[in-house]
């Protein structure tokens, strides 16, 4: 048995859910690229947001060294995780290993990622439209998840994303039998902004209950920032909470009923601290 095999645990649904939570709730990460010419690793801090399929997306300037490096060689690794209280090494983190792909400006994918990114990083709206900035998707080949001391996993793309990957607006790559298909992702992406705005504008009370009762988060100005087949992400200030569905969506039209059922459950749940 190799050393690698001896330290890695079998990937289970709990590990997959933790990986989704990290990729979909962490707003900043460390991006490692290969420096042109020397080939040395170059790491920098970047703001991130998940695309609807779970692929990490980044807004990068062509004036930065890491963008120059990615244009020369798209191979990269993105480390995501928040240290929290106590020993930083006791907290979960994930390294997503893959290739960064620049999205064509004004494409459907660019518009989708832009909306999701700015929902998490509203101040980036001041410069996101500048000519030297562009969005990249880090399409994963694998990921290494550390859930804490003695808990390490190596995940494949299906483990990390749970389904197919939106490589472009109308083509897919992934397992034919994946639970989440590109047709579902495309339908949900088309519906997402309307659903999010409706919930935040007309059902803010339900959103607050999702966060405070179902996620046991503190009080705040909670708003839904994104929806995906596995759950919803909510944000208040710099805090993000994720609420996973009991069962992944099979079609976009199920979202309304799922949100109604979650609101009923939240209202029936004892408030935190009581």
The rounded mean pLDDT for the chain is 91
Q: Picking from 99-108, 114-123, 127-136, 158-167, which range would have the lowest pLDDT averaged per residue?
A: 158-167
Q: Which CATH architecture is the domain 188-268 placed in? A: Alpha-Beta Barrel (3.20)
Q: Rounded to whole angstroms, what are the CA distances from 99 to 56, 78, 200, 201?
A: 11, 10, 35, 37
Q: Kindly report each contact of residues 179-188 with a partner whose C-beta sits within 8 Å and lies 24 or more positions away, as own/partner.
A: 179/248, 180/53, 180/229, 180/230, 180/248, 184/229, 184/249, 184/250, 184/251, 184/252, 185/52, 185/53, 185/229, 187/251, 187/252, 188/52, 188/227, 188/228, 188/229, 188/249, 188/252, 188/255
Which is the CATH superfamily of the domain at 3-169? Electron Transport, Fmn-binding Protein; Chain A (2.30.110.10)
Tens of pLDDT, residues 43-69: 999 999 999 999 999 999 999 999 999
Of 81 and 169, the structure prediction assigns the larger pLDDT to 81
Average pLDDT over residues 250-256: 95
Structure tokens at 102: 């620049």
- Alpha-carbon gap, residue 231 to 157, rounded angstroms: 18
Domain ranges of the chain: 3-169, 188-268
Domains 3-169 and 188-268 fall in the same CATH topology:
no
Q: What is the pTM of this model?
A: 0.90
Instruction: Count the neighbouring beta carbons within 10 Å of the beta carbon of residue 21.
Output: 19
Report whether pLDDT(176) > 50: no
17 burial class (0-12, 13-18, 19+ CB within 10 angstroms)?
Answer: middle
Q: Where are the beta strands (DSSP E) in 117-169?
A: 133-148, 151-155, 165-166
Of 177 and 200, the structure prediction assigns the larger pLDDT to 200
Tens of pLDDT, residues 215-248: 999 999 999 999 999 999 999 999 999 999 999 9
Beta bridge partners of 2: none
């Amino acid at each position: 048995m190799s050393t690698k095999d001896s330290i890695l645990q079998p990937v289970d649904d709990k590990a997959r859910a933790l990986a989704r939570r990290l990729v979909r709730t962490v707003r900043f990460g460390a991006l490692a690229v290969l420096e042109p010419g020397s080939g040395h690793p170059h790491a920098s801090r970047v703001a991130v947001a998940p695309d609807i399929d779970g692929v990490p997306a980044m807004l990068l300037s062509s004036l930065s060294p890491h963008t120059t490096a990615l244009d020369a060689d798209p191979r990269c690794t993105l480390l995501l995780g928040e240290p929290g209280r106590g020993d930083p090494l006791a907290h979960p983190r994930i390294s997503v290993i893959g290739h960064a792909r620049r999205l064509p400006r004004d494409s459907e994918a660019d518009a989708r990622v832009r909306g999701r990114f700015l929902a998490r990083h509203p101040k980036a709206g001041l410069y996101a439209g500048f000519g030297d900035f562009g969005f990249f998707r880090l399409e994963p080949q694998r990921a290494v998840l550390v859930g804490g001391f003695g808990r390490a996993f190596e995940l494949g793309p299906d483990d990390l994303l749970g389904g197919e990957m939106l490589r472009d607006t109308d083509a897919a790559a992934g397992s034919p039998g994946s639970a989440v298909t590109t047709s579902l992702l495309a339908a949900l992406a088309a519906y997402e902004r309307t659903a999010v705005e409706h919930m935040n504008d007309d059902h803010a009370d339900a959103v607050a209950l999702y966060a405070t009762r179902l996620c046991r988060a503190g009080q705040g100005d909670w708003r839904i920032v994104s929806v995906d087949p596995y759950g919803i992400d909510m944000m208040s200030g710099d805090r993000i909470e994720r609420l996973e569905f009991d069962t992944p969506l099979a079609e976009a039209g199920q979202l309304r009923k799922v949100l109604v059922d979650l609101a009923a459950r939240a209202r029936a749940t004892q408030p935190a601290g009581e």
